[in-house]
Structure 1
Amino acid sequence: MRITTFRKLMADEFGQVRAEMVARDHVLSAIGGRTPDQALEAGVPTKEIWLAVCDAFDVPEHRR
């Protein structure tokens, strides 16, 4: 998954402003105690980050 696709999925799910806040501020243990932005910078695969966000925010399976 490309980073642009990840960003679009985030915006579609949370709205643009909240998606940016979640990516910047929400620490997820599933991606090593990092925020999504930190995980991206560390080279964690975007799909892994997206699924961690989905799990943390109970995104329904059909929107993952």
Structure 2
Amino acid sequence: MRHSEFWQVVEEAFGAGYGRSLAADLVLTGVGGRTAVQALDAGAAPRDVWNALCDEMEVDEATRWRYRRDPKARDGRR
């Protein structure tokens, strides 16, 4: 998962405004007590940040995995 894909799945899962707000404000224990933005800026892998965000937001496994797949698979193009 690249940074651009991270932002795409965040917006798909939570909505553009709310997703960006979560990424900027919600402290994620899974990435060292940083926000998603801070963790990405510090070099954390986007997939690790996505997992930490899902853990903190208690996203169910089906939803988590739906957005972690290849973007083409999410909309049925694959």
Would the TM-score normalized by the shorter structure come out above 0.5?
yes
**Percent identity over paired residues:** 39
In structure 1, distance between residues paired with 2:41 and 2:59: 24
State the match for 2:27 in structure 1: 27
RMSD across aligned positions (CA): 0.7
State the match for 2:53 in structure 1: 53
1:59 deviates by 1.1
Runs (5+) with no aligned partner, structure 1: none
**Residue 27 of structure 2: SS of its match in structure 1?**
coil
Runs (5+) with no aligned partner, structure 2: 65-78
Following TM superposition, the consecutive aligned residue runs of length 4 or more in structure 1 with deviations greater than 3 angstroms are none
In structure 2, distance between residues paired with 1:28 and 1:59: 14
State the match for 1:17 in structure 2: 17
1:58 deviates by 1.4
Count the aligned residue pairs.
64
Q: Deviations over 1:19-46 (max 9, x none)?
A: 1100110011110110000000000000
Larger radius of gyration, structure 1 or 2?
2
TM-score, with structure 1 as normaliser: 0.94
